[in-house]
Amino acid sequence: MTTKTNGDKRFMEKIRCDACPVMCFIADGKSGACDRYANENGELLRLDPLLVMQRRVDEGGELVPFLDGADDWDGELFATQDAFVTAIGAGTTYPDYKPAPFIVGSVVDGVDMVTVVSEGIFSYCGAKVKIDTDRHIGPERALVRVDGEPVGHVTTGEYGSQMLSLGGVHHLTGGGKKEGRVTCATLLALCNGDAVDMQVDDGSSLVLQAGRPPVINNVVESRMRVGCGSATVGMFAAQWHGLVDEVVIVDDHITGVMSEHQAGKVIGWKPSGIKIIGRRSTPGRYFQVAEPGTGWGGTNLTDPLTILGPFDVRIAIPGQSLLMVSTTGEQFGYYELDDDLTPVAKKMPKRLQPSIQRIEENCEPALTSINFMGGAGGSLRAGVTENPVKLTRSVKDALTRVTCGGAPAYIWPGGGITIMVDVTNLPENAFGYVPTPALVAPIEFTMRKSDYMALGGHLDHVMSIDDVLVGKIGPQNDHKLAGKKRVAQQMQNPWPIG
């Protein structure tokens, strides 16, 4: 809703925007605090253009892009079955009672479909961050800070990656004003693909950007580990057999020892008399050989020999060879036992060099993955139907598909509509913010028209996609659009309307 102000001189020629709880009074020619809405000659203007996605055409089994980026739209029509109205630039349903800005009807394969399109204001939102690295970035539960403010924490590590949980309502609204502002700015930058500098308490400095290698303590990470030490033993046991007497894969989690491991025993690997200082799990698998760190295999080791005890004199023999290597192949060493059965460093023989290269080859490039996560609450669901719980049930029953800017969203099981989406699957700069603080994210609900009727949808506000393409807006919209842009469907994304 847009309301002109009274005769108070402080607000002369201003209009009030109710697109978020801040309720800005906006002077003519100026924008609100969110930089999303402006006053243009006394009318509220949504500054970002509405993005309409065009399907990539299948020609001979190959998807051909209509265009690679987004372009200014001159009004030229394209086939409506190949168009999808995203929520980017659409506007919001706030303050809850309004139907969604666009409720779009279309026909797909002879079936009447409806897509409800809205930019959601997410106070309950955050980002789950996957950092492909073997290096220790900080203790679990350690705070992650930006500009000195806590914005999240280190969470449980996963296979070959460190994980962060950032944002959430407690950081956005539960701390001081600066904490909320910094948290919101951090989430906005990460979700829009920008780089952010962070510091982990008692840990590393990080520079993270979606789809780019992480920078840890000013060093660009190049590759993630091929697997844990035990997995690496199993993967390459046959390639090392007959070339070296013993192999140790140093790893912070599970250090693998070839001669003891089942993979080695199956192919006839002889005992070497080696002794590993660590907690033995199952044969050939050792935990806690060292503290976490940025050295060999994510440990604090600079010299891998420190995890070795004395060799068994009843088994080991002088001249016996030993290869020690990390899970990424970045660190490696070749040793031979002297007459006292002490490992002595030697030059890496040519016969073993291909196996080191093979480990490196099997390590995938290290990337940073950013998944936006948010709860679709009252304003979003009320914009779809007068009985919001029916939308929740429809989503859980797979009758309604949820997308974000046309990108597929994962729906968490359990109550509510909690979504998670890879930000690299969305068009550029798909996210906004309001200074409450909260993020603004695009969200679309697509279903059969019959299912929309069954959940009590706002049928009086359904408009055809043809009308949207020629520039019409629904009767519930009380703001103007800055225009429209076309954007190509991303190759990795399915078409949103099935």
Please answer whether residues 213 and 219 qualify as being in contact, where contact means their C-beta atoms are separated by less than 8 angstroms.
no
Mean local confidence (pLDDT), 459-468:
90
Q: What is the mean pLDDT of the chain?
A: 89
- Token digits for 371? 């998944």
Strand 111-122 to 125-132 pairing:
unpaired
Each residue of 23-76: pLDDT tens digit?
888 898 888 888 888 888 888 888 888 999 998 776 544 443 444 344 554 455
**pTM of whole model > 0.95?**
no
Q: What is the Cα–Cα distance from 445 to 85, expressed in whole angstroms?
A: 11
Confidence of residue 10 (pLDDT cuts 50, 70, 90): very low
- Token digits for 451? 């299912």
Would you list the domain boundaries of the chain?
A: 2-46, 50-122+377-428+438-488, 125-223, 229-361
Residue that has been written with the tokens 């949820």 in this structure:
402
CATH number (3.40.1350, 1.10.150, 2.30.29, 2.40.30) of 125-223 reads: 2.40.30
Q: What count of other Cβ atoms lies within 10 Å of the Cβ of residue 352? A: 19
Compare 376 and 471 and report the one with higher pLDDT. 376
User: Which pLDDT score, from 0 to 100, does residue 22 have?
Assistant: 84
Residue 123, CA atoms < 13 Å, CB-side half-sphere = 12
Q: What is the Cα–Cα distance from 461 to 423, expressed in whole angstroms?
A: 30
Of 157-161, 367-371, 454-458, 472-476, the one with minimum mean pLDDT is 472-476
Each residue of 314-344: pLDDT tens digit?
999 999 999 999 999 999 999 999 999 999 9
